Amino acid sequence: VSALRAEALEDSAAMEGLDAFRERARTWIEANLREATLEELRWARGTLSEAAELAQVARDRELQRMLFDAGLAGICFPKEYGGQGLTMAHQRVLNEELGSREFPMRYQVPTFSPCATVILEFGTHEQKLRHIPAILRGEELWMQFLSEPSGGSDVAGALTTAVRDGEQWVLNGSKVWTTGAWWSDWGLVLARTNWDVPKHRGLTVFMMPIHQDGIDVHRIEMLNGSHEFCQEFITDVVVPDGDRIGEVDDGWTVGTRWMFHERMLFNSPYVNNPVGRIRGGSNGSTVAMVAQELGKMDDPATQELVGEARMFELVAEQIHTRVGDSIRTGRRSDQAAAIGRLFHGMATSRSATIGLEVAGSSGAAWTGDGEAAAAAVNFLMRQVGSIGGGTTEMARNVISERVLGMPRERTLDRDVPFRDVPRSRPSSS
Amino acid sequence: MLVALTEDQEFFRETTERFLVELVPPDALRALRDDAAGFDRAYWRRGAELGWTSFLVDEAHGGGSISGDGLVDLSLVAYEFGHHAAPGPLLPVNIVAGALSEHDAHAGVLAGLLAGEAVAAWCAPEPVFEVGAWRSGVTVRRDGDSYVLSGSVAPVEAAAESAHLLVTAADGDGLTQLLVPASAPGVEVTAMQSVDLTKRFGAVTFTGVVVGAGALVGEPGAAAGAVERQFLQALSVLNAEAVGAMQAAFDMTVEWGFDRYTFGRPLASYQAIKHRFADMLTWLEASHAISDAACAAVAAAAPGAFECSSAAKAYVGQYGADLVQDCVQIHGGIGVTFEHDLHLYLRRMTVDRSLFGTPAEHRRLVALHHMADLEGAA
């Protein structure tokens, strides 16, 4: 059982009671946070202009600072590092009270989790003191430098290399799918430090500032017009050994927990998940709005589809809670987080198809910018929920092999030095 | 079933499970196939002694719960019923007993239900596509001090085995509930067929059945609130039972996956099969989660209880049936034989899916309540 889990479960007589906490949170939220606009609730579309996006990033930093000053930041982070030292139950109360108010959504994932949780779990006392309070005060936005262009699901096959040079390391390579790296401050990097051992045994984790010479951030245009994702090119970037997280060549120990925190994002005690948030794309509420806009709510076939999308939304809330509780109480291993991840992929994919169906011919051509107008673009992005954060195929492997204990897939890269493992041919594009 | 039970709940669940394992193993279930009632009265009395019929009844009326939340405790029994495809009129007896207790009516009948001496059935209405509205196959009209019932309802679980029928009848614009002796002149029960080996259903016809005001359960014309509660309680029982059946079929199939070898490898070593197991476990966990949440919402009379219950019935009905059919597929030919136990759960799942609204009907009900909420918020 990790220290993190014990902290999240911690309870004591001295701790603020849930009712008192709710009252305090509600009073402050009502006085300080306005209702979010629909556009803010649906940030996942990420199609704002650059200036508008930067204005919202600045507002998020400000909101995070306000929450910190109010004693409402980092509910489950230890007090020692600027958090509140409270429990998951308190975090759930805060999620309920935040409802559909504005909140610093850019801080949640990946800054609080998995980045800050990885630092909390594997960082030294000094590293934690340096970064976690700063994160909770709204001063540092973090990104995960994890995936690489050479392979998505095979994270341990990282090619980005760190070479030791005395008390520092020199990094070269490329990372991709970092959300908003262009407006973020720090990156958590998984890099190869040893090519002569099998792939899982030659990795190390580092922290590095994103905006420095040697890091080129390119923004990637997605099918919905969003430019939120980035690719970074890292050339001779120097990182002091003091910014290494965990032991040299033991990065996979860190990486395993890193990905656990990533899969837990919908039920992490370290992340605000306000209940009124729309998690992007099509869901019960947006599909209902499409039906309303098109005047189709009296059509029984449409009713059935709207109900199905809403059903997924309701079930999603409950399965994430159940899986999280199963893990926190030790009834299931951390690997069970893949169950919530797989559900998310299946449900979002089906909901996007439902949205397109209810939109009718608006799925081909539309005017205006209502929900019906968004249905086709949401459909283009349908598979994102089954790809991002580890594919559903990987989740299916994890569930069958790690949760149900079924025989592992045969691998050809397990016991050979990484430099001898066959790799993709370089892409020509 | 809940992730964590209290010690008392776990003790009770385990007692019920041991009882079912001992008294109604699969061979006993097969033997009940041709039994008219589908269950043994002595078995039912012993179950009642364990508490199976008491959870929706006030302590003042001789009932009581384990956790303080009777419906949640009842859902534990229902889960075990699904998990062992157990016989007995669990749903109708509890719904009727709860209604009688709530309205402080028919103390003698209630005592018989609590003791497991008697069985009662609910002639239930169906929800229609309008919040708070129901369609009943039975109408009631007042004739002096008497009430006259006409119409028919089907399927009614345990109708032929019941001494009393709780009838939800249309009464002008409202609903009236009456407890009618099954022996009353004009009541006719026709046995129906079902795929479940032990559940029995009847079609009940009322031809000018006359009862006195003493038959009333609650105020005449004002039963809509009680009917909604009963309906949602019934969904909680069915969902919990279906999830129990899913879990049993799944566990059995996982074991098969490890034990069954083909081309020199266990079935569970093929990625195509492993990925189906991953999907099934996800549907199963989601079904546990939503059915527990709906049950808790109904028990607490929470605002979203109807929407959540319909979402649970829609999800569990669809994915539960798909899960058990996938279990059949992974078993291959043996999975569609009477000799294997898997069909006990497929049968129970099929019946639970189809009672009190199919997944498609409940998807529409989810939309109905969701749209009402959105309009209320706007």
pLDDT 10s digits, A96-110? 999 989 999 899 989
Q: Higher pLDDT residue, A423 or B312?
A: B312
pLDDT in tens, B170-226: 998 899 999 999 999 999 999 999 999 999 999 999 999 999 999 999 999 999 999
Give chain B positions within 8 Å (CB) of A310.
Answer: 307, 311, 366-367, 370
- pLDDT at B160 (0 to 100): 98
Q: Which residue has the tokens 């936005």?
A: A141
pLDDT for B146 equals 97
Buried b / exposed e over B195-221, threshold 16 CB at 10 Å, is: ebbbbbbbbbbbeebebeeebbbbebe
Q: Which residue has the higher pLDDT, A47 or B144?
A: B144
Mutate to test the interface with A, among B1, B2, B3, B130 (most CBs of A within 10 A): B3
Q: How far apart are CA B351 and CA B353, in angstroms?
A: 5
Q: Considering CB atoms only, which of A284, A319, A397 is closest to B289?
A: A319
Q: How far, in Å, CA of A324 to CA of B83, rounded?
A: 24
Q: What stretches of A193-275 adopt beta strand conformation (E)?
A: 203-209, 215-219, 229-240, 244-245
Does ipTM top 0.90? yes
Q: Which residues of B touch A319 (CB under 8 A)?
A: 282, 285-286, 289-290
What pLDDT shows up at residue B183?
A: 98
DSSP A424: P
> pLDDT grade, residue B106 (50/70/90)?
very high
pLDDT digits (tens, 9 = 90+) for B9-42: 999 999 999 999 999 999 999 999 999 999 999 9
pLDDT, residue A256, reads 92
For residue A350, what are its two tokens? 């089906």
pLDDT-based confidence at residue A7 (cuts at 50, 70, 90): very low
The nearest alpha carbon in chain A to B374 belongs to A285
CA–CA min distance A66, chain B (Å): 29
**Residues on chain B touching A297 (C-beta within 8 angstroms):** 367, 371
Q: Do A399 and B364 touch (CB under 8 A)?
A: no
Cα(B304)–Cα(B232) distance, integer angstroms: 12
A264 backbone dihedrals φ, ψ, rounded to 5° = -85, 5
| Sign of the torsion angle spanned by Cα atoms B55, B56, B59, B61 | negative
Q: How far is A240 from chain B (nearest CA, A)?
A: 43
Q: How far is A315 from chain B (nearest CA, A)?
A: 5
Burial of A334 per CB tally in 10 Å (0-12, 13-18, 19+): middle
A87, A269 contact by CB (below 8 A): yes
Helix (H, G, I), strand (E, B) or coil at B40: coil
pLDDT of residue A279 exceeding 60? no
Contact criterion met (CB < 8 Å) for B366 and A310 = yes
Average pLDDT over all residues of chain A: 90
Mean pLDDT within A149-178: 93
CA of B312 to nearest chain A CA: how many angstroms apart?
8
**What is the tens place of the pLDDT at every residue in B310-352?**
999 999 999 999 999 999 999 999 999 999 999 999 999 999 9
CB-based contact, A410 to chain B, within 8 Å: no
B375 Cβ contact partners less than 8 Å away, ≥ 6 residues apart: none
**Closest residue to B278, CB basis, from A303, A314, A396:** A396
Task: Please name the residue of chain A whose CA is at the shortest distance from the CA of residue B308.
Answer: A314
The average pLDDT across B134-146 equals: 96
Cβ–Cβ below 8 Å for B364 and A318: no
Question: Which of B276, B326, B361, B370 to probe the A interface (max A CBs under 10 A)?
Answer: B370
CB contact under 8 A, A399 and B293: no
Rg (CA), chain A: 22
pLDDT at A9 over 50: no
- Expressed in percent and rounded to 5, the helix, strand and coil fractions of chain B are 55, 15, 30
DSSP assignments along A391-414, one per residue? -HHHHHHHIIIIIS-PPPPP-SSS
A90 band by pLDDT with thresholds 50, 70 and 90:
very high
Model pLDDT, residue A5:
45
Separation of alpha carbons B302 and B296, rounded Å: 8
pLDDT value of position A283: 76
| Total CB pairs under 8 A between chain A and B | 140
Whether the CA torsion A292, A293, A298, A301 is positive or negative: it is negative
Which chain B residue has the Cα nearest residue A394?
Answer: B275
**pLDDT at residue B165 greater than cutoff 80:** yes
CB contact under 8 A, B366 and A307: yes
Q: How many residues does chain A have?
A: 429
Element (DSSP H or E) covering residue B297: helix B271-299
Residues B288, A323: C-beta atoms closer than 8 Å: no
Q: Which residue's entry shows tokens 């690719």?
A: A231
In this model, does residue B93 exceed pLDDT 50?
Answer: yes
pLDDT surpasses 60 at A152: yes
A377 touches chain B (CB under 8 A): no
The pLDDT of residue A8 is above 60: no
Q: pLDDT, tens digit, for every residue of A281-302?
A: 667 778 998 999 999 999 999 9
Cis peptide before A114 (omega within 30 of 0): yes
Q: What number is the average pLDDT over the span A1-6? A: 43
CB contact under 8 A, A307 and B268: no
Amino acid at A47: T
Residue A91, pLDDT above cutoff 50: yes
Left if phi > 0, otherwise alpha if psi is -120 to 50, otherwise beta: which for B333?
Answer: alpha
**CB < 8 Å to B307, chain A:** 310, 314
How far, in Å, CA of B307 to CA of B288, rounded?
Answer: 17
**Percentage above 90 pLDDT, chain A:** 74
Over residues A343-358, mean pLDDT? 96
CA distance B235 to chain A (A): 15
| Residue-wise pLDDT tens digits, A167-215 | 999 999 999 998 889 999 999 999 999 999 999 999 999 999 999 999 9
* Banded pLDDT at A278 (limits 50, 70, 90): low
| Degrees to nearest 5, angle at CA A397 with A392 and A399 | 90
CA A65-A69-A71 angle, to 5 degrees, is 115
What value does the mean pLDDT take over residues A241-248? 98
Q: At what angle do helices A337-359 and A251-263 cross, to 10 degrees?
A: 40
Task: Rank A180-184, A316-320, A332-336, B257-261 by mean pLDDT and report only the highest.
Answer: B257-261
CA distance A245 to A251: 8
Q: What is the pLDDT of residues A129-146, one digit of tens each?
A: 999 999 999 999 999 999
Q: Point out the residue among A297, A307, A342 whose CB comes nearest to the CB of B282.
A: A342
What residues of B are in contact with residue A396 (Cβ under 8 Å)? Answer: 274-275, 278-279
How far is Cα A412 from Cα B159, in angstroms, rounded to an integer?
Answer: 63
Q: Are the C-beta atoms of residues B267 and A407 closer than 8 Å to each other?
A: no
In chain A, the residue whose alpha carbon lies closest to the alpha carbon of B292 is A318
Test A314 with B307 for CB contact under 8 angstroms.
yes
- Which residues does chain A have within 8 Å of residue B252's beta carbon, measured at their own beta carbons? none
Whether the CA torsion A322, B10, B83, B41 is positive or negative: it is negative
Nearest CA in chain B to A327: B3
pLDDT given at position A1: 34
Q: Cβ distance A272 to A103 under 8 Å? A: yes
Cβ contact, residue pair A307, B277, below 8 Å? no
Q: How far, in Å, CA of A310 to CA of A293, rounded?
A: 17
SS3 content of chain A, % helix, strand, coil (to 5): 50, 15, 35
| A186 beta partners | A142, A209
One-letter amino acid of A420: D
Given a cut of 60, whether residue A11 has pLDDT beyond it is no
Between residues A41 and B328, the one the model is more confident about:
B328
Please state, in angstroms and rounded to a whole number, the distance separating the CA atoms of residues A105 and A277. 10
Say which residue the tokens 């990905």 belong to: A259
- How far apart, in whole angstroms, are the C-alpha atoms of residue A347 and residue A358? 16
Provide, rounded to the nearest whole percent, the portion of chain B with pLDDT above 90: 95
Between vectors from CA B116 to CA B113 and to CA B120, what angle results, nearest 5°?
A: 40
Decide if A300 and B364 are in contact by the 8 Å CB cutoff: yes
Mean pLDDT of B346-367: 98
The contacts of residue A343 (CB under 8 Å, 6+ apart) are A315, A316, A319, A320, B282, B285, B286
Give the model's pLDDT for residue B223.
97
pLDDT of res. A3: 42
Share of chain A above pLDDT 70, in %: 92
Contact flag A307-B364 (C-beta cutoff 8 Å): yes
Q: For B274, which of A305, A315, A396 is closest by C-beta distance?
A: A396
Judge whether A227 and A46 are in contact, CB under 8 Å: yes
Give the model's pLDDT for residue B1.
80
Chain B: nearest CA to A306, how far in angstroms? 6
Residue A400 to residue B268, Cβ atoms within 8 A:
yes
- Angle, helices B41-50 vs B107-115, to 10°: value is 100
Q: A80 by DSSP, 3-state: which?
A: helix
Using left for φ > 0, alpha for ψ between -120 and 50, and beta otherwise, residue A78 falls in: beta
For range A310-321, the mean pLDDT: 94
Most confident of A156-170, A213-227, A281-295: A156-170
In the predicted structure, residue A326 carries a pLDDT above the cut 60: yes
Nearest by CB to residue A322, choosing from B3, B258, B275, is B3
What is the band of B360 on the pLDDT scale with cuts at 50, 70, 90?
A: very high
Cβ-based contacts of A338 with chain B (< 8 Å): 278
Which of chain A's residues have a Cβ under 8 Å away from the Cβ of B368?
Answer: 303, 307
* Chain centre to alpha carbon of residue A63: 19
Q: H helices then E strands: how many in chain A? A: 14, 8
